[in-house]
Structure 1
Amino acid sequence: MPTTLTINGQTHQVDLPDDVPLLWVLRDELGLTGTKYGCGVAACGACTVQIDGEAVRSCQTSLGDVWGEVTTIEGLGAPDALHVLQTAWVKHQVAQCGYCQSGQIMQAAALLATNPAPSDAEIDEAMQGNLCRCGTYPRIRAAIHDAAKMMEA
């Protein structure tokens, strides 16, 4: 039986079993490859997307468990209209290899939606499940602070 999903403001129908991970629906069925496969066990955060504004790991969220509108990195901003976090990421040169960055940004966007002026400790707590092999954590924290200031202005 087909499932109807709203992803980045667009309606999609997929005819897949309910237990297929959302990650594979996004990447393989819909071609939204900004969401990355990292570990497959929700431990690294590379696959982070938002469902109704809540950050979730798409590798462990089954198609049948999707409860609302999905936002991926492709829906957060566009090349000619970057989201404030994407602008801050560029300004602070956060990305090294870049593999984890879409998940990092989606997690940070969920944080700023609920806490528009987070402290260092709140950022660290919110971002602790998103791993960066390049170790750009200080830049990530600085970019989140900068994005928060830009959003306030």
Structure 2
Amino acid sequence: MIDRHLIGLNVNGAAHEAVVEPRKTLLDVLRHDLGLTGTHAGCEHGVCGACTVLVDGEPVRACLMFAVQAENCDIRTVESLADDGELSDLQQAFSAHHGLQCGFCTPGFLMLAEGFLAQQPDADREEIREAISANLCRCTGYQTIVDAIAATAARRRSSPATEPAGTGSPASSEKEVAP
């Protein structure tokens, strides 16, 4: 008899339940059970970073995390970045700076960068390079990805009252954004 568990997940601000085997990964639940296919299955060994999502604000390889480990955690996927069809500032910067080509690795880079910028809003280009070295891209050569993340960081620093799209709260001039 296969052991199954009912788990509760908070994904992109919405509560979900799933019945999973203990060995089922968060990546499998996101893609197959919840239909959130923006999180890509690349190497499925935690090497490439295409499956990077934010779990309680931290970048995590969804292919390496069991779904049962994510129970009651706040999970954000790339689908959380756009707000009512409008791309987030980070997504717009990736487009403007040509930080994507085939696009396969892009969701992982976006989520890695989103988590990184939330923790290090004053990051310089070298810190950005170090942070993104955890993910692999076969097309861009990384420079345009660094350009996009640096531009987003600069934009966010210059308008601190504007919250990034998709964070769940409307932007307000009275609200401070936590670093």
TM-score range, shorter-chain basis?
Answer: over 0.9
Map of 1:91 onto structure 2: 96
Map of 2:59 onto structure 1: 55
Q: Check the 8 A contact 1:96/1:136 in 2, yes or no.
A: no
Map of 1:17 onto structure 2: 21
Q: Check the 8 A contact 1:94/1:136 in 2, yes or no.
A: no
Cα distance in 2 for residues equivalent to 1:77 and 1:53: 17
Structure 2 residue 109 is the aligned partner of structure 1 residue 104? yes
Give the secondary-structure state (helix, strand or coil) at the position aligned to 1:2: strand
Q: Offset at 1:129? A: 1.2
Larger displacement relative to structure 2 (128-137 or 44-53): 128-137
Give the secondary-structure state (helix, strand or coil) at the position aligned to 1:65: helix
The higher radius of gyration belongs to 2
Map of 1:113 onto structure 2: 118
| Structure with greater proportional helix content | 1
Cα distance in 1 for residues equivalent to 2:143 and 2:39: 23
Q: Check the 8 A contact 2:100/2:140 in 1, yes or no.
A: no
Match runs of 1:30-69 below 5 Å: 30-66=34-70, 68-69=73-74
Q: May I ask how many residue pairs the two structures share in their alignment?
A: 153
TM-score (norm 2): 0.82
Larger displacement relative to structure 2 (126-135 or 50-59): 126-135
AA paired with 2:99? V
Q: Offset at 1:4? A: 0.6
Structure 2 unaligned blocks of 5 or more:
160-179
Structure 2 residue 144 is the aligned partner of structure 1 residue 139? yes
Cα distance in 2 for residues equivalent to 1:103 and 1:134: 14
Root-mean-square deviation (CA, aligned residues, Å) is 1.2
Structure 2 residue 132 is the aligned partner of structure 1 residue 127? yes
Q: Check the 8 A contact 1:95/1:136 in 2, yes or no.
A: no
AA paired with 1:13? E
AA paired with 2:19? D
Give the secondary-structure state (helix, strand or coil) at the position aligned to 1:15: strand
Q: Offset at 1:36? A: 0.2
Cα distance in 2 for residues equivalent to 1:84 and 1:115: 16
Q: Check the 8 A contact 1:88/1:146 in 2, yes or no.
A: yes
Structure 1 unaligned blocks of 5 or more:
none
Q: Check the 8 A contact 2:27/2:39 in 1, yes or no.
A: yes
